[in-house]
Structure 1
Amino acid sequence: MRRTFRPVLLAPGLSPASVLLLCLCLSLSSGAARAATTALPFRVGPPAAWVKPLPIPPDSGPASAGEEETSVSRLLLEEQMRVSGHSQEHYLHAARKVLAPQGIDRVTDIQIHFDPTYQKLTIHGIWRLREGRREDLFQPAEARVIQQEPELQNRLYNGTLSVVPFLRDVRVGDTLELAYTIEGANPVFGGRFSDVVSVGQPFPVGHFAYRLLWPEGRGRTLFIRDFAAPGLTRSEAMLGDEREILLERRHVPAVRSEDKVPGWQPVYPWIQLSEYKDWNDVARWASALFQVPARSKALEQEIRRLGREPKPEARFLAALRFVQDEVRYLGIEMGPNSHQPHPPDEVLQRRFGDCKDKSLLLVALLRGLGIDSQPALVNTGLTQLLDGWRPTANAFDHAIVHATVAGRELWVDPTSTLERGGLDSYEPPPYGRALIVAPGTTALSTIPAPTLKEPSVFVDETYVATDRDGPATLEVVTTRTGESANSMRRLLAGTPVSELSRFYVNYYAKKDAKISVAKPLTVDDDTAKNVLVMHEHYRIEDFWSSDGRRDFSAHTFHEYLTEPSYSHRAFPLEVEHPVFARHRITLKSGEPLHAGKDHDVVDGPAFHFEADTRADGKTLVLDYRYQSLADAVPPERIAEYVKAVRATEDHRGYYVQLAGRGARRLAPSPSAGEAGTFLLGVMGVCLALWFVIAQGGPVELWRKGRAWGRRRAFARKFDADHQGDSAWAAIPITGSQELLSTLGRLRCACGASGEAPRDSLRHEAVVLGERHLTLVQWQCPTCARARRAYFEDKGSRAA
């Protein structure tokens, strides 16, 4: 390129030295500007020649009858992928129309994520379509590049960058169009390709398309599996030496979300593409990553220390608890380390690592101790759904360890801290399926489901109220075993006992405002047997109501026996499983109680419930048991499940009425106008007499009526669903989309329910021990009442 030099005209009084200094400053300034422009970690330009962008379809209304969009209409969602050698190019093109002011925030909230260690981002443009004019709004200099680290709260760092553009002048009626390409593939997969294409969304889409250019005839085979994608068309053509695969779906209806859908149940229709021919192909790929290197001096020293235990079981537990409790969970997952663990020696020196790092370290220690073990890959949410998947390395999000100790097969999670007890009572993690990382593995292995033969949670409440007008005492003994004890131990490790006590006393204060702590809460932890016992002591003023009545509640089961938000469902209802809980309430009264004994059983599609009531002299015992039988209820049995839950309401509590003190109740006299109903009254009396005789006589009927009334009064007073009111009763969700849909169903005290404006939502992260919650606060759109709800994300866990 030729450079043209132009003469410089000196201003009057400006010396040549000053001119030289000015030129130098201008040169440095322009150089700095060029450096600032080139410093951006992305480029701006047109798409590659292989890309064939689709036109934006006209807004033809809702995708199907009965659907309507309130704020945004998704006109186009298009993806194009090209696979060439070890390289991959991913083109995305989307268009959304703003229908209401609330939709402006949604269409302008754009974040483009990429990994700079192996990906290159090219932004083609962000266009505004208004009244037939198409204008590019994207200003690279105004965009911000942030390292957001979306999994920071889970102590995972992956180095992903996010480009956040700031767009000006977007109004109702505008269509916003976005297009960009990400080039590059994670080298950890060695050029192998796999992808998951969602062909359904929680919102309607006018035109969906997925186009793949595949290198045909180069020794590479692509496997495609369709998972319930109605209305999807597939066409193929050859473009030179590439095979073009086109998947399209028009007028795509929204997939409406439901609450508590099991992770193994696909909700959105999707297509899976994979280059892996079988699970052995995946196992050999993983085996190359999880290589146990030669032992370092530090690793050898740790093996000698752990080897002092005389028996294999003791050595195994010592190694497991060392990795679980003394190597903290923290993942640096940049580039290939998204799937490849760091060397065990490095993890040992750092004393931190993620699930992959900790699993490989544990395997290295166990093998050094002479214990056969291998890493294993699992999916924390999909479990048995993996049985229907095409083999792929992308099927897993977590790593654990499989070991054989003294002839016993064990599955252990090195990231689960503070597990105690012996191997006889050890519960396998609830992941269902696993791929053992070994070159000879040919299929997924089944992880046996945990079984509970005895209650793992036993809440024993004893009330002593010997004086009707004096204070009563309450002693609560909560015994936890197995995983329930482990969970409480983790909570106590991050939460002071005083804070836990404050929560418990405030929980009981919802019913008894004049309750106080009589003795500090104490914890007895038998780590050898993995039995954790908590003791609470309270003093309650005004225990009896003014008319001598008291209600009792088996509140332990509130979280298990709740009705779903959606009873007319398309998907199964998730049930927490396995659960075996017991709640016993004992009342020691100073006045005689009516003697009696009842045993009630309710069997639902996914649970078994029992209630025993025994009253003798001045002592009343209410004994309840709940046991889950399955992890889900199929849609066709939801009505049966709801009926069973409601049936337990009459048995999950009781009320006691002490003898009165001379009070009389006056009944109104019949009016003259009632004489005409005399004959009907006589017939009613006859029917009533027949019913009394059929029930075993007046005494038995009176006893049954009192028992039913006591239970029903409990159900009306105590069985309101308080889920979300506190951090301890957080609403489980599987992602931000479910959080927003759940908010729309929460009913305010004024009776209104509905989606709150997003700009009124305030989110706050809450850490409670090892639980990471989200507190959402907002105002009711109807009555402006301040509202709040706690949520806990139970979604997939990163490896």
Structure 2
Amino acid sequence: MPRIFRPVLLAPGLSPASVLLLCLCLSLSTGTARAATPALPFRVGPPAAWVKPLPIPADSGPASAGEEETSVSRLLVEEQVRVSGHSQEHYLHSARKVLSPQGIDSVTDIQLSFDPTYQKLTVHGIWRIRDGRREDLFQPAEARVIQQEPELQNRLYNGALSVVPFLRDVRVGDTVEVAYTLEGANPVFGGRFSDFVVVGKPFPVGHFAYRLLWPEGRSLYVRDFAAPGLTRSEALLGNEREIILERRHVPAVHSEDNVPGWQPVYPWLQLSEYKDWNDVARWASALFQVPARSKALEQEIRRLSKEPTPEARFVAALRFVQDEVRYLGIEMGPNSHQPHPPDEVLQRRFGDCKDKSLLLVTLLKGLGIDAQPALVNTGLTQLLDGWRPTARAFDHAIVHATVGGRELWVDPTATLERGGLDSYEPPPYGRALIVAPGTTELSVIPAPTLKEPSVFVDETYVATDRDGPATLDVVTTRTGESANAMRRMLAGTSVSELSRFYFNYYAKKDAKITVASPMTVDDDTVKNVLVVHEHYRIEDFWSSDARRDFSAHTFHAYLKEPGYSRRAFPLEVEHPVFARHRITLKSGEPLHDGADHDVVDGPAFHFEADTRADGKTLVLDYRYQSLADAVPPERIAEYVKAVRATEDNRGYYVQLGSRERRLRTSPPPSGEAGAILLGVIATCVVLWFVIAQGGPVELWRKGRAWGRRRAFARKFDASHQGDSAWSAIPITGPQELLSTLGRLRCACGATSDAPRESLRHEAVVLGERHLTLVQWQCPTCARARRAYFEDKGSRAA
């Protein structure tokens, strides 16, 4: 179309040259304004021709009885993938219907994430379907592009971007449909393809589909992990093989608390192009190349080589990388899996697990020590035995070394480890792939074992005057990894702050407790033994009726019943754990002599309780040792029974004798002869029972000891996990946090969910522990509530 030029009317006295200058200025200003408009980092357009979008089901309907949705109905979850050469395209399409006002937030909370270093995002549209009318709500100019960095708290930066649209006018009854394509693959994989197809979700899905276009003649391995009801069809489309996985009315998969990381919860399929683990090892070997040593590396190797023995040189190199190279990961693009050069890491003195592992291997090889990087998964452990080989199986890197004929597995990111190699505990990752061209299978990392308690809490109460104050001295001794963990905490938390936490723990029981002298810490780094000393003064130690309660509170975190006792999945048990708690009471008045020894053996633990009273001293000595990392579902009832059996032995009370002894008399018995005879018979039965139990003294002692334990065991175990930062509830993600909140019982007895808008989240950092403090109001009694959570999800490599 030809351009139409309109005449310009000149103002009186304005020359043509002035007009020309004015037009030039306007042109420049317009060009500047256009240049100032930032280009969007994504495109808007229709899907590629190879995509075959599925229609949205009219109504998903419940997958089975009792699974009707309340806020959102997931009508469609669809993914289509095309692999061609080194390129990959992922088309994602979903539709969700709003069923209640609470569902509006969930449906409109949309984030389209991509890595700009190797991916291109094309948004096809975000539609609202209302009364049969489909309208595109996506406004590119109004969308925001944010760099959220979800792993920032773990000091990991990946540079991923998220497009966040702001949808207008979404109401109950609307269906929101989203479709977009991600084009590109991380070049670090060299064009190799692997994918995970999660079939089940924590919510029902009306129609699930996964479509893959795969080059004909190119190998692909598929492994099914318990995906019932999934149909699979294949067809040849030219030079591509079409694989379709599909299921309608997919039921929700209901997770449970404390499921081990190695236990799959949701049914899924694994797709992998890797033939075997040697294929993966050769890929990783190309990334973890030990380079020629720089001047800085040579200087560091010369410094370390001054140590007298290979063992000492190994420890010196390990401590240097652990403690003097801080953990910080820049994992953009290929560096998600490829480490930075060791010389660069040494110069800037920071790196992630890959960087630190390769640096340590480089130093060790320079010292003449055989070492290789090793890839692990921090959560899956033995589950990897059943996987198809894939480069995406791992989320962490460590080091495997041989020193003096001894095989060692060490984690370069584990700071402040102390002690010698004789007592070194391997990290609890279970399986590893040694990065070497000749590796053909996964290696087994020996599980740590504890032959002696690694935590020993020794409480000594001195109460010589029932009307005067008592003293409490607490000595907590930690060894091995427990000492390392406490050392890390103290590196980020002052002793005074730690003392404040511990002091407030005891203040929950004794309101009139004060600190008698400051907390002290003795750290023997050679033996790796860390001892914490606490000293308190307690007013009103004895209650008004001269009673005192005691509890082995150290075991509250280990001996607790699961939230779900009728389970489909195993129950995770913290392992290995070997803990001891001893309570000593030195009284000013005589205590009842005697001794008891009780043992409880559960499916995953061994518990012992010793009670000894001699003169004016009472000693309660408890031991707990884990035996396995999980309890199978069929033994949960046995486990719960064993936990309850320990309750009778974890609590005890002492009752001082009365100061006044009064002689009491009773009138002689009266009644008929039959009543007297029955009384004589009953007396004989009682006497026989007393004799069978070892005599009246022994029976009285047993009954009194049992009553003291029973009376207060449950009382002390009523303290809830999550009440403090030290008893934070372990979770694996935000979804589990919300489900756990719904099960926490308020003092009023209610367990109903709090409205999400009333939840307040606060990040809490204790040394290397990253916690989340959640505060809310009980919807039943309006009581202020709070709970601490600790995310135990897997760490990125």
Letter in 2 for 1:153: Q
Letter in 2 for 1:47: P
Aligned to 1:324: 322
- Cα offsets for 1:742-781 (capped at 9, x unmatched): 0111111221112222222221111110001111112222
Give the Cα–Cα distance (whole angstroms) in 1 for the partners of residues 383 and 359 of structure 2.
29
Letter in 2 for 1:6: F
Give 1:691 deviation, angstroms.
Answer: 4.0
Give the Cα–Cα distance (whole angstroms) in 1 for the partners of residues 586 and 791 of structure 2.
42
Give the Cα–Cα distance (whole angstroms) in 2 for the partners of residues 783 and 18 of structure 1.
78
Letter in 2 for 1:451: T
Aligned to 1:64: 64
Cα 1:40–1:32 shift into 2, 3 Å: farther
Q: 1:544 aligns with which of 520, 529, 542?
A: 542
Q: Secondary structure at the match of 2:465?
A: coil
Aligned to 2:107: 107
- Cα offsets for 1:454-505 (capped at 9, x unmatched): 0000111111111111111111111100000000000000100001111111
Structure 1, unmatched stretches of 5+, are 670-675
Q: 1:704 aligns with which of 702, 705, 713?
A: 702
Aligned residue pairs, count: 792
Aligned to 1:6: 5
- Cα offsets for 1:67-100 (capped at 9, x unmatched): 1211000000000000001100000000000000
Aligned to 2:332: 334
Aligned to 1:149: 149
Q: What is the aligned-residue identity percentage?
A: 88
Aligned to 1:207: 207
Letter in 2 for 1:291: Q
Q: Secondary structure at the match of 2:422?
A: helix
Aligned ranges 1:720-759 → 2 under 5 Å: 720-759=718-757
Q: Secondary structure at the match of 1:651?
A: helix
Aligned ranges 1:112-261 → 2 under 5 Å: 112-217=112-217, 220-261=218-259
Give the Cα–Cα distance (whole angstroms) in 1 for the partners of residues 379 and 663 of structure 2.
59
Give the Cα–Cα distance (whole angstroms) in 2 for the partners of residues 682 and 20 of structure 1.
130
Contact 2:651–2:714 (Cα < 8 Å) also in 1:
no
Aligned to 2:519: 521
Aligned to 2:671: none
Aligned to 1:85: 85
Give the Cα–Cα distance (whole angstroms) in 2 for the partners of residues 552 and 681 of structure 1.
39
Cα 1:719–1:11 shift into 2, 3 Å: farther
Give the Cα–Cα distance (whole angstroms) in 1 for the partners of residues 428 and 123 of structure 2.
42
Aligned to 1:308: 306
Aligned to 1:271: 269
Give 1:38 deviation, angstroms.
Answer: 6.3
Letter in 2 for 1:496: S
Q: Secondary structure at the match of 2:297?
A: helix
Give 1:326 deviation, angstroms.
Answer: 0.2
Q: Secondary structure at the match of 2:107?
A: helix
Q: 2:368 aligns with which of 358, 370, 374?
A: 370
Give 1:3 deviation, angstroms.
Answer: 5.2
Structure 2, unmatched stretches of 5+, are 668-673
TM-score (norm 2): 0.96
Q: Secondary structure at the match of 1:300?
A: helix
Give the Cα–Cα distance (whole angstroms) in 2 for the partners of residues 198 and 139 of structure 1.
31
Give 1:5 deviation, angstroms.
Answer: 3.7
Give 1:32 deviation, angstroms.
Answer: 5.5
Give the Cα–Cα distance (whole angstroms) in 1 for the partners of residues 554 and 422 of structure 2.
28
Letter in 2 for 1:45: G
Letter in 1 for 2:145: V
Give the Cα–Cα distance (whole angstroms) in 2 for the partners of residues 264 and 664 of structure 1.
66
TM-score (norm 1): 0.96
- Cα offsets for 1:28-55 (capped at 9, x unmatched): 5654665566611001000000000000
Letter in 1 for 2:3: T
Contact 1:37–1:141 (Cα < 8 Å) also in 2:
no
CA RMSD, Structure 1 to Structure 2 (Å): 2.2
- Cα offsets for 1:651-694 (capped at 9, x unmatched): 1121111001338899999xxxxxx9999999876765554444
Letter in 1 for 2:564: Y
Give 1:197 deviation, angstroms.
Answer: 0.7
Give the Cα–Cα distance (whole angstroms) in 2 for the partners of residues 350 and 251 of structure 1.
54
Give the Cα–Cα distance (whole angstroms) in 2 for the partners of residues 683 and 99 of structure 1.
72
Q: Secondary structure at the match of 1:561?
A: coil
Q: 1:638 aligns with which of 636, 639, 648?
A: 636
Give 1:701 deviation, angstroms.
Answer: 2.0
Contact 1:550–1:655 (Cα < 8 Å) also in 2:
yes
Aligned ranges 1:10-89 → 2 under 5 Å: 10=9, 15=14, 20=20, 23-24=23-24, 27=27, 31=31, 35=35, 39-89=39-89
Give the Cα–Cα distance (whole angstroms) in 1 for the partners of residues 665 and 89 of structure 2.
84
Cα 1:356–1:345 shift into 2, 3 Å: same
Give the Cα–Cα distance (whole angstroms) in 2 for the partners of residues 677 and 768 of structure 1.
70
Give the Cα–Cα distance (whole angstroms) in 1 for the partners of residues 69 and 566 of structure 2.
22
Give the Cα–Cα distance (whole angstroms) in 2 for the partners of residues 795 and 678 of structure 1.
71
Cα 1:427–1:147 shift into 2, 3 Å: same
- Cα offsets for 1:373-412 (capped at 9, x unmatched): 0000000000000000000000000000000000000000
Contact 2:60–2:205 (Cα < 8 Å) also in 1:
no
Letter in 1 for 2:740: T
Aligned to 1:402: 400
- Cα offsets for 1:602-649 (capped at 9, x unmatched): 000000000011101111111110000000000000000000000000
- Cα offsets for 1:584-607 (capped at 9, x unmatched): 111111111000000000000000
Q: 1:576 aligns with which of 574, 577, 580?
A: 574
Q: Secondary structure at the match of 1:728?
A: helix
Letter in 2 for 1:512: D
Deviates more, 1:176-185 or 1:762-771: 762-771
Give the Cα–Cα distance (whole angstroms) in 1 for the partners of residues 298 and 444 of structure 2.
33
Cα 1:144–1:677 shift into 2, 3 Å: farther
Give the Cα–Cα distance (whole angstroms) in 1 for the partners of residues 216 and 191 of structure 2.
15
Give 1:540 deviation, angstroms.
Answer: 0.7
Aligned to 2:427: 429
Cα 1:304–1:171 shift into 2, 3 Å: same
Contact 2:763–2:770 (Cα < 8 Å) also in 1:
yes
Aligned to 1:673: none
Give the Cα–Cα distance (whole angstroms) in 1 for the partners of residues 19 and 348 of structure 2.
57
Cα 1:235–1:605 shift into 2, 3 Å: same
Cα 1:259–1:687 shift into 2, 3 Å: farther
Aligned ranges 1:745-784 → 2 under 5 Å: 745-784=743-782
Letter in 2 for 1:7: R
